[in-house]
Amino acid sequence: MASEPQEPQSEGSERRREGWPRWSIWMLIALVLASVIVPNLLNRETGTAIEYSSLIDEVTDGRIDSVVVTNQTGAIKAEAIDGTTYTSKGPIELPETDLKLLRDRNIDVEFRTESSNPFLSLLPILLPFVLIIGLFWWMQRRAQGQMNGIMSIGRSKARTYTTERPETGFDDVAGYKGVKQEITEVVDFLKTPDRFAAVGARIPKGVLLVGPPGTGKTLIARAVAGEAGVPFLSVTGSDFMEMFVGVGASRVRDLFQTARKLGRAIIFIDEIDSIGRKRGAGLGGGHDEREQTLNQMLAEMDGFEATEGIVMMAATNRPDILDPALLRPGRFDRQVVVPLPEFEERSAILAVHIKDKTASKDIDLNTVAKGTPGMSGADLANLVNEAALNAVRMDRESITQDDFEAARDRILIGQRRESVAMTDREKEVTAYHEGGHALIATLFANADPVHKVTILPTGQALGVTMQLPEERHAYSQDYIEDRLAVLFGGRMAEDTVFGVTSTGAANDLIQGTELARRMVAEWGMSDRVGPMAWGSDNQVFLGDGLVSGRDYSDETARVIDEEVERILRTQENRARQALLEHRSALDRIAATLLDKETISGDEVAQLIPDPVPSSEDGDPISEAVNPPSIGQPGSD
């Protein structure tokens, strides 16, 4: 577990410590209440309460020895000859007949005037002054707090994780052995810097963790601090940005001053691309606050002041937009790629996330890991949680393998739409459409295997053919061509059976056109165009290449369009020819879908008596690509 951050003390607590303590206010309130209540309790009369007429009867019978009358309230306290005390309430002025009766019976009568509470007497006079003084005091303290907030705006917002509490180590990070080995040098340097100093080696000052979102870059950085046993200062790039120019630079200075006081420490900046973008880029010119913050960070990392023992770590999923000055040697001169987890790593990550869940012993995490290629650590955590939610939804006491299947389908293809009512004609067309996808994917050897086919409305689609791609890092031309054929399988099935096409193939056409264009313009898979690439990774919002023209002629653009059309036509014809040759298998798949609504990839293979591979696997291309998944036909 990661050590808990030491939260900075709030401004309110500082003000209370500088001014009156909190208990003094409650003490003042208690004194005021005591001055009002205690005198009343002390002056409270004790004795047997009787009516005034009964008291007169006691006087008439000669059983009363003395009487005390309170002038302000008419309260009477009488003491009998036998020692009994009576209390009563009479008129404020006793009648003459009653006074005469008391004198005739030789009873001692005392008329007492009680003194008033001095505090209560002064309260109406003092209360307005107290309220006015309290109002001015409150306004002064509030103004002082605002001034303190303004004066502290340049302080760093970094959270400090110390070594006094449990830390995160490499054992807490599942998988990523290669990443751990690459940053072990940083840990060794922080633990034993003398070894490196003896040889004259200098550890990189900055380590940039690069990878897709959700791969655990922040967790790995915290594990480095835990392994090294040094303080860990964590801050996000957005914490440096304020409306006032110069605040970000001041916070950078304060951050490094704090780290220097700690001696050896790790400073981790998450999402550094928010302040580390290329300077001077963008449609609106430069951003003064961001550029000043970046300049200050560059100066602190490789300026005149020594920062020995301080290692900078940062995380981003957009290294291409970072300023080149950040990535030069002496700053973030080491980039560690944190990729999407492989099969074994996904299995280990699933085991970590399922520890605190009530899961069935029959769950095979390896099977789940094989069915989740391309998922990050955050995606796998979400998958486990969705499986737990599905178990609760199905009134199960523990998570089962079926819950993981349902959770994966919900994440990859969306939630089933129960409210969509399809006509018989739409169901039949959708069944043949999805059957065409499944048939081509099963027939062609280079296509990804079919996992599930359904004609139930799911997500944005009326039907889905779900394929589980194998673990690949590079894709051959044969694989991409077979993928295009699979995309056209649904459209060609509709044309072959019904002689018409529908809007259900819209998403297939979009994905197919994009793949074919990248084959021609980026991957050099066209003999007519040749080994040339015109793809660009520059982003429009950076302003790079926005006003510049294309780097190829109109004639080349026409050739690219013709080659894209040729590739798409070729794969369309391949799909049509395969469907015509296996029309009976297509009919069986569609009929089974209309009957069961959902079938597995094994059932599809059983409905095809003798599938014939289209071609052998080709050689992998040099650059890995990421073709999008099969489109969901039938989208509304």
Annotated active-site positions, please?
Answer: 434
Alpha-carbon distance 111 to 73, whole Å?
11
Alpha-carbon distance 598 to 464, whole Å?
9
DSSP-based three-state secondary structure for 21? coil
Alpha-carbon distance 285 to 167, whole Å?
43
Find out whether 18 and 145 touch, Cβ atoms under 8 Å: no
**Rg of the chain in Å (alpha carbons):** 42
Which alpha helices (DSSP H) does 44-117 contain, by range? Answer: 52-60, 96-104
Alpha-carbon distance 363 to 130, whole Å?
72
DSSP-based three-state secondary structure for 69? strand
Alpha-carbon distance 583 to 498, whole Å?
13
- Bridge-based pairing of strands 334-337 and 85-89 is unpaired
Which alpha helices (DSSP H) does 522-596 contain, by range? Answer: 554-581, 583-596
- The gap between the terminal CA atoms of the chain, to the nearest Å, is 46
Alpha-carbon distance 281 to 16, whole Å?
47
Alpha-carbon distance 211 to 183, whole Å?
15
Which residue shows structure tokens 């409150």?
138
Long-range contacts of 42-47 (CB under 8 A, 24+ apart): 43/114, 45/75, 45/77, 45/87, 46/85, 46/87, 47/77, 47/84, 47/85, 47/86, 47/87
Find out whether 265 and 233 touch, Cβ atoms under 8 Å: yes
Please state the separation of Cα 211 from the chain's center in Å.
17
- In the DSSP assignment, the letter for residue 359 is B
Q: Is the dihedral of CA 419, 420, 423, 425 positive or negative?
A: negative
Strand intervals (E) in 426-493: 450-454, 464-467
Q: Among 498, 510, 492, 506, which residue's Cα sits nearest to residue 636?
A: 506
Contacts of 17 (CB under 8 A, 6+ apart): none
Find out whether 439 and 579 touch, Cβ atoms under 8 Å: yes
Find out whether 291 and 279 touch, Cβ atoms under 8 Å: yes
Find out whether 430 and 504 touch, Cβ atoms under 8 Å: yes
How far is CA 126 from each of CA 134, 605, 613, rounded to the nearest angstrom?
Answer: 12, 95, 100
How far is CA 302 from each of CA 81, 226, 256, 333, 617, rounded to the nearest angstrom?
Answer: 102, 25, 12, 12, 51
